[in-house]
Chain A
Amino acid sequence: MVKIAQISCGTEYSGVQKEIEKAASTFGAEIVIPVTDIDYIDEAYEKFGFNCASSGIRLMVARAMSIVEGKSDADAVFIATCFRCAEGALVRNEIRRFIQQKTRLPVVTYSFTERTKADELFIRMEALSTIVARKNILAREKQEGLTLGVDSGSTTTKVVLMEKNKVIGTGWLPTTDVNQSALNGIDQAMEGTGYKMDDIDGMGVTGYGRLNIGKKMEAELIQEELSVNSKGAVYLAGHQQGEATVLDIGGMDNKVITVNDGIPDNFTMGGICAGASGRFLEITARRLGADITELGPMAIKGDYRKAVLNSYCIVFGIQDLVTSLAAGSTKEDVAAAACHSVAEQVYEQQLQEIDVREPLIQVGGTSLIEGLVKAVSETLGGINVVVPEYSQYIGAVGSALLVSGMGKRNDK
């Protein structure tokens, strides 16, 4: 059984301890509390050097030290503190870094409220336990042989065919029937390559429909999107070592993953406001009489300050854009303002929950809108934003890459 060491403050008093344990046990893992004694707490706290006012947080420091110094046995670490606690957030992050620097253990962090339920923690716990179980596979940095990767998302299905560390075919289509969309996507990816399903060495599946497709098509790798997307992003960006942030502003929801050496350690997802999604840009493009692919170059030429936008809302914000156009703003300025609005909204809703690390690898369909990429960088104070080639296919690329480490299908 995978042992997940819990280092936290406030879980028991927020009523979420049970949810954490439930989430861990769902993925065959067990929560353990690292051992400390009173003298060790003092010693560890002094050694770490972060003055904490709360003894619960000092205890976190000692528990982290206990893991780093090998006094407690653990396969993975879950670090959690209360949402909105400044001291907790600072220490959570420093402990995370400390454990990552001193050990090879996968770490996942979280800030919770009393509303946190087990299912919000599922993807984190699944990531932790699969990272432990598949350490060797996740260490893979190069694709080999001929492999297929499928990312079955809630809105679109993405497929890539890879050979000799290169993408040789892609498929992209809206998800209707999970299995049928995957089959059609595979056809698209195979087209023109001369290969058939019988030729591939392995198949990896991720995303919302992974279990369904994976079982039906006997995929060698069925894995949650957190670790697959992280891997795909750092692989495509050529940034497999060190820290990075992966940002996916989707059509319906947004994901932010923080990564250390290609392994994810925190994640936030949000999807309650269309104003913070690709949908806002789609509607803007339509209002401007442009195709979504034209919006990016248009926005680059514009100045967002010249178009008045008083609301992030998809209803009122778009109305403001129309008013700006009528008042004489150029299409370019309006396009730039729309991109800025989405970037700012993502910043306010999500990036504040996570410690953003450079480089920021922007992925997903919206990463192809240059104006949005520029706006994200500006909103974050000029941070280095990287958009790798095939950025809209990271989940599929990550799956194809990882499955290539699992041996050849036809040899078995």
Chain B
Amino acid sequence: MSPKENHEVCHDDNTRTRMIILGPGAHISQNELVQKLHMMELPLTIKSTCYGAMVYGDQEFVNQAVKKARKLDPYNIFTKDRGFPPGDPRRCRGHRGAAREGFHQLEKEFRLLGHVAEALEKPRKVTIEEPEKVSVDDFREIVKKSLKSSKLSKIKDEG
């Protein structure tokens, strides 16, 4: 399908599509989310989806909606940009049969969202430096020690 035929939803470059995703521990339902989005009275297209909602419209209003939506349940509402407007025939599941590829990624990440929410709720101090690898000398020492305390030391002595 030509994008020209789709011009009514693709009128300029300032439009954005955002997916608003409810994590598994969300305190509000999908219906409530969609309702609240409507109640913001922003000039947006709001679509209810299996993971939450999709908002589409001018970037400024999309950002406002996202900000407000996050406040509804700060730790359990996540958002992601989407390249295609809702229902674009070039990517729409109904039109092409299978889900668009990005959907599989979303499915995988969705499974972690409960833990992500927990981490956000109770932040901990961590160090981002990876621990260094054990040195060869230390490694050798540890091996020696464990060999001594096991039957293998016998084999080693015989060898």
Which residues of A are at the interface with B, using a C-beta cutoff of 8 A?
32-38, 41, 56, 59, 63, 72
Contacts and interface: CB of A to CB of B under 8 A. Distances in A.
Nearest to B104: A38
Contacts of B98: 33-36, 63
Contacts of A38: 104, 107-108
A38 B108 CA distance: 7
A178 to B, nearest CB: 37
A33 B101 CA distance: 11
A164 B104 CA distance: 57
Given A38-B104, A63-B98, 6 more contacts: A33-B96, A33-B97, A35-B97, A36-B104, A37-B107, A38-B108
A37 B97 contact: no
Q: How large is the interface on B (under 10, 10 to 19, 20 to 34, 35 or more residues)?
A: under 10
A34 B96 CA distance: 9
A59 B96 CA distance: 16
A41 B104 contact: yes
Contacts of A34: 97-98
A32 B98 CA distance: 8
B40 interface: no
Interface string B83-104: 0000000000000111101001
A16 to B, nearest CB: 15
**Closest 3 pairs (CB-CB, A-B):** A33-B98, A38-B107, A32-B97
9 contacts: A32-B96, A32-B97, A33-B96, A33-B97, A35-B99, A36-B98, A56-B101, A59-B104, A72-B97
Contacts of B99: 35-37
Contacts of A37: 99, 104, 107
B2 to A, nearest CB: 10
A41 B108 CA distance: 11
A70 B96 CA distance: 18
Contacts of A33: 96-98
A56 B101 CA distance: 9
Contacts of B96: 32-33
A35 B99 CA distance: 7
Of the listed residues A33, A34, A59, the one surrounded by the most CB atoms of chain B closer than 10 A to its CB is A33
Of the listed residues A36, A38, A63, the one surrounded by the most CB atoms of chain B closer than 10 A to its CB is A38
A309 B97 CA distance: 56
B107 A59 contact: no
Contacts of B97: 32-35, 72
B21 to A, nearest CB: 15
Interface string B26-42: 00000000000000000
A332 B140 CA distance: 70
Nearest to B110: A38
Contacts of A32: 96-97
A152 to B, nearest CB: 38
Nearest to A5: B97
A59 B108 contact: no
